[in-house]
Amino acid sequence: MEPQVTVNRTNVVTDIYTCYGIDNISYDLTSTGNPFVICVLLYMFLLLLSVITICGNLLVIIAIIYFKQLHTPTNYLILSLSAADLLVGLIVFPFDMTFTFSSCMYHENFFCKVRGSFDVSLSTCSVLNLCCISIDRYYAVCQPLTYKIKINHHAIVIMIKLSWGVSVLIGIGVMIIGKCEENCAINILITNTIAPILSFYLPVIIMLCIYLKIFFVAQTQVRSIQNTTSRSSESRGTVSKMERKATKTLATVLGVFLLCWTPFFLYLTFMPGG
């Protein structure tokens, strides 16, 4: 039998599962499972994910700040990425635990819009920082002679400011556009299509193109090294291993990235009603 949800705004029911704690609404859940157990498992999963995210990114931030030898342009981008992910663990996950499994499932209020704004802003910031890191790696691998000239501290500061500035603007825009009473077609178009394109799909296309270019250049460099070394079977085997390792590393980085972010932005794009 399909789970049924009955809403009655005239009665106040106090015996409600924890993650459905909404005043002045009663829910009649008919299911073979136990909603309370599901709620507890979801809270535990988000709590564990939050702790891992906070601890991992905090270690990265402390290491980069403390060790002076890590004060490089590339590591500053990694520092910015870790700061964005740290805020995801500190803000987004607790907000999701507080609102997503309670009132935001049934109606939206100001805090639900703030939660959504933080979700979009910080996830966009992570994606844009990763895009900046790919640009940094492109110049390091494909144009090493001009790398230090083009990717200096000034350029890194501009990249970081743009990543955070664009992310904040998109998050605020999503929250403002979300306030819609009637004729919301344009608002839904912007929230569900334009915002995900700017926040995720366009940066992903840029990153894919850049990393494919890096991969092809790296392959060319490996073949060049192979041609300048001896033709022994040992050297050919070493080069072959290098090529396989580069391929696996690139596939792993892009695969994990797409696996983590694609479901969220697909949901943001195709969720009913915006």
CATH of residue 190: 1.20.1070.10
Q: Are residues 11 and 42 in the same domain?
A: no
Q: Which residue reads 């009913």 in tokens?
A: 272
Among 217, 248, 266, the domain-final residue is: 217
Average pLDDT of the chain is 74
Full DSSP string of 67-104: -GGG-SHHHHHHHHHHHHHHHIIIIIHHHIIIIITTGG
- At 25, is the pLDDT very low, low, confident or very high (cuts 50, 70, 90)? very low
- Work out the pLDDT band at 269, boundaries 50, 70, 90: confident
88 and 139 share a domain? yes
Per-residue pLDDT, 77 = 92
- Of 172, 190, 217, the residue at which a domain comes to its end is 217
Residues 104 and 212 in one domain: yes
| Domain presence at residue 174 | yes
Q: Are residues 7 and 68 in the same domain?
A: no
Return d(Cα 11, Cα 41) in angstroms, integer.
29
186 and 98 in a single domain? The answer is yes
User: Closest by alpha carbon to 54, among 81, 90, 22, 21?
Assistant: 90
Whether 243 is covered by a domain: the verdict is no
pLDDT at 145 over 80: yes
Domain termination site, one of 217, 233, 248? 217
Backbone region of residue 273 per phi and psi (left: phi > 0; alpha: psi in -120 to 50; beta: other values):
left
Contact predicate 78/54, CB 8 Å: no
Q: Does 160 lie in the same domain as 65?
A: yes
Cα separation, 72 vs 137, whole angstroms: 13
**pLDDT at 85 exceeding the cut of 70:** yes
92 and 79 within one domain? yes
Q: 98 is in which domain, residue-wise?
A: 37-217
Q: What is the pLDDT of residues 29-45, one digit of tens each?
A: 334 455 667 777 877 88
User: By C-alpha distance, which of 201, 202, 198, 182 is closest to 190?
Assistant: 198
In a domain, 266, yes or no: no
Per residue in 169-215, pLDDT tens?
888 887 777 555 555 666 666 667 777 788 888 888 998 898 888 88
Min mean pLDDT across 45-54, 119-128, 181-190 is at 181-190
What is the predicted pLDDT for the residue at 12? 41
Cα of 191 vs its chain's centroid, Å: 17
Q: Which residue has the higher pLDDT, 261 or 248?
A: 261
Residue 247 placed within a domain = no
What's the structural domain count of the chain?
2
Residue 227 within a domain: no
**82 and 132 share one domain:** yes
Whether 64 and 148 share a structural domain: yes
18 lies in the same domain as 75: no
Do residues 168 and 112 share a domain? Answer: yes
Is 170 domain-assigned?
yes
Question: pLDDT tens-digit profile of 60-80?
Answer: 999 999 998 989 988 999 999
Asked if residue 242 is part of any domain, the answer here is no
Residue 116 lies in a domain: yes
**Whether residue 179 sits in one domain with residue 141:** yes
